Amino acid sequence: MLHTAFVKFYNFLAKLGGGDRPAISSSVVINKSSMMNHSELTTSLLPHKALNQKMRSSGIQQASLTVSEFSELSPSESYWKAFRPPIRRFAPVTIVIPAYNEQSVIGASLSSLVQQTQIPETILVVDDCSSDYTGKIARAFQNVTVLRTPKNSRSKGHALNYALPYIESKYTLTIDADMTLEPNAIEKMIEFMESSPQFAATSGFVIPKTINTTWERTRFIEYLFSFPFYKRTQNMFGRVVICPGCFTIYKTNRLKSIGGFPTETLAEDMELTWLFYEIGEGVGFNENVFCYATEPGDIHLMTKQLKRWNTGFCQVLKRHWRRMSKTPVLREFVFAGLVDALIGAIVYPLLLISLIITGHLSSLTLFVALDIGLASAPPIWKGYKLKSLRKVAKCLPSYFLVRFFNSYWFYYGFISVFVLKKGSKTFEKGHN
């Protein structure tokens, strides 16, 4: 009875206040655009402490008004402002997620998107003819559109291109189905692009979701080395070698004008980056935006991923080496990487063996200490920044044990593409 009387009294006051506040029934409906899970929160009219508690549990912050501010409002405005959740803005971006048999990870990925501080205009999941529940899980999320390809394309580039005609927003952001984003990732990427008109694309910082196995520990150190050192240096010179497709934002008009995503290699993200340079566009790196990837947890999955990465790099190099050689700075970075991959993996162990055989133990000790110090410095520095020094210390031994395993797969890709003149274009995932 008291509940119903209060509702009638509120609606009467709303009319007196000018009628610009919506009338309520026996329940209060909070605007779904401010919900962290994109669903409506319907709750009985509760005392304000209980209501605020329920709002907090659903991801809505308590309204903050001082007593003096509250007393100056009309009765209807007082009630409305006290319990109105903060309004989240829509970001001018379409999220595209290519997915094939990703039922184990797609839910977490979409959950991280609908909880962003700025909501994307559209979320497109390209279901590449999955045989599991990938599409059904994606459809369970509000404001998510599922596009199912006529047949499995076996190519990430083809799957991404399938979504292009449906994109009308200013920006397009691609993420892999296993990725999750920090809560303000979209907001920070939009701000970066708006303040950097010279960039047609920008990528963020990738960190493994879990760091339990030897292979995940190795990848953690690789990321903490390559992103703060290699990619940051490349960004300083305006020639980021690759914007990883797992998390990159593009200007939609530039992306469409270049013909969309390449489909002739296993490294469509690297090829697209180089194509932007060829037409005079800039590409950037935002080290302050983090995303979290599901990394290979065993040697079988790591092998599939390294095989794809290295073969894809060599395919792109073969297709674009003439034009790449005319692109200042990019050619120097690529050449240095080639020398390191082709020669370093052979010279390093040979030098160690020769120092051991000749008995130059002092030189051997100095060489090993210098190598460990140079390889450890960037991860330790970034680990300190991320308050993860203990985790870095645990992961470094795995990195030094496994890093030469990666070199083998570079030789595999190089020989397959340049010597045997073959190379698969079928995309293989690096996770279950």
Residue 429 lies in a domain: no
Residue 374 lies in a domain: no
Between these two residues, 424 and 130, which has the higher pLDDT value?
A: 130
Are 106 and 186 in the same domain?
yes
Are 260 and 217 in the same domain?
yes
Are 155 and 27 in the same domain?
no
User: pLDDT grade, residue 36 (50/70/90)?
Assistant: very low
Mean pLDDT of 222-245: 95
Range of the domain at 24: 2-83
pLDDT score of 260: 97
Are 171 and 229 in the same domain?
yes
Residue 118 lies in a domain: yes
Are 108 and 134 in the same domain?
yes
Are 313 and 185 in the same domain?
yes
Residue 371 lies in a domain: no
Are 79 and 177 in the same domain?
no
Count of domains observed in the chain: 2
Q: pLDDT tens for residues 46-82?
A: 333 333 343 344 333 333 333 333 334 444 444 444 4
Are 176 and 258 in the same domain?
yes
Residue 405 lies in a domain: no
pLDDT score of 46: 31
Are 226 and 307 in the same domain?
yes
Mean pLDDT of 297-322: 94
pLDDT score of 17: 47
Span of 3-12, 124-133, 227-236, 342-351 with lowest mean pLDDT: 3-12
Task: Name the domain boundary from 279, 313, 332.
Answer: 332
Residue 17 lies in a domain: yes
Are 264 and 140 in the same domain?
yes
pLDDT, the chain, mean: 83
Residue 230 has pLDDT above 50, yes or no: yes
Task: Name the domain boundary from 308, 332, 356.
Answer: 332
Residue 367 lies in a domain: no
Between these two residues, 350 and 133, which has the higher pLDDT value?
A: 133
Residue 351 lies in a domain: no
User: pLDDT grade, residue 428 (50/70/90)?
Assistant: confident
Q: What is the CATH number of the domain that holds 163?
A: 3.90.550.10
Are 200 and 286 in the same domain?
yes
Span of 225-234, 242-251, 420-429 with lowest mean pLDDT: 420-429
Q: pLDDT tens for residues 8-30?
A: 544 544 444 444 444 433 333 33
pLDDT score of 37: 37
Task: Name the domain boundary from 44, 64, 83.
Answer: 83
Are 167 and 284 in the same domain?
yes
Task: Check if the beta carbon of residue 254 is closer than 8 Å to that of residue 193.
Answer: no
